[in-house]
Amino acid sequence: MQNLTTVAAQVGVLFALMGVGAACRWFRLVDDRAIKGIVNVLVLVVTPCLVVDVFQRPFERAALGALGAAFAIAFVVHVAAILASRAAARGGADSLPVLRLAMVFSNAGFMGVPLEYAILGDAGVFYGIAYVVMFNLFIWSWGVWEMRKRGGRDGGGLTGWKSIRPMVVNPGTVGLAAGLPLFLLSARLPAVLGAPVHHMAGLNTPLAMLVIGFYLAGADFRRVLATPAAYVAAFVRLVAFPLSLVGALWLMRGHLDRTMSLAMVIAASAPVAAMVTMFAAKFERDVDLSVGLVSGTTLLSMLTMPPVIALAIEALGG
């Protein structure tokens, strides 16, 4: 119960920050154009700074091993989720890809990272970045393929290097490339660079929650409420898959770093990724369904994430 209360309080803080974003929309303090600019700053500037900031820590062989395990677990998690989505999702030509991506891809960046920091501190984000990197690897490979197949439109023609580049060059991998050497060398940036990077990293939680709250305030849930398959997708994303991961990590608990394992659970238990809507729009799939899934699971996550994470804390030795 103590773990549940602690996690629920942290999730509550995030949703209070989302309320600020919702108020910004209701009172027209920002518009869609402004929020898109904030998203660009968040993704292209704040995220790499966050990664570099958390990697400025003394080198530890055990931490390096746990980071490698985090990459391996995140890889297996996405493969298992893809297989589960192919078995569980049912829908038409435009809705099926959306449902499958919704089951596989969590909002590990915008929701997962702030919660990892709140509950586990810098170490949680250190390991959580592995999940974000694997997220980008799979969404720009399998995700693109799933959206484009069965005669789907390619939304502008992602071919050749254009289809591969986001897998290799994205904010997560850029931050990792810049931050990992600092960790391996136990080095820190000079103050004139390190201080700005640290301050930019601190913007991750408030900006991410403001953006999510802004979009929640304008969400239309009618499409998702009228789609029974969406309930299955939400259950798999928020409950079935995270609990399965907790069980698997519990079986391996004697061989894995506890903080790393909890970071993986937090990332996997986050709601549907906003990228699902971006892909649905780009590839001309069921955009209304994707918006409803992203918004609906974000609201439901306030009820599902605290017990799932509290259970993980207890099961993994909290």
Number of structural domains in the chain: 1
Residue 281 pLDDT: 83
**What are 93's two structure tokens?**
């030509």
pLDDT 10s digits, 15-59: 999 999 999 999 999 999 999 899 889 988 999 999 999 999 999
CA distance 132 to 105: 10
Q: Which residues of the chain have pLDDT under 50?
A: 151-152, 154-158, 161
Question: Coil, helix or strand for 272?
Answer: strand
Q: What range defines the domain where residue 244 resides?
A: 2-315
pTM: 0.89
Residue 309 pLDDT: 95
* Residue 272: strand pairing partners: 106
pLDDT 10s digits, 133-154: 899 889 888 998 898 875 445 4
Instruction: Name residue 232's amino acid.
Output: V
CA distance 52 to 54: 6
Q: Which residue has the tokens 């435009």?
A: 94
Give φ, ψ of 233 to 5 degrees. Answer: -60, -45
The CATH code of the domain that includes 69 is 1.20.1530
**What are 229's two structure tokens?**
């398959």
Residue 168 pLDDT: 76
pLDDT 10s digits, 182-206: 999 999 999 999 999 999 999 999 9
Residue 154 pLDDT: 47
Spatial neighbors of 287 by CB under 8 A, at least 6 apart, are: 277, 280, 281
Please give the DSSP secondary-structure letter assigned to residue 285. Answer: S
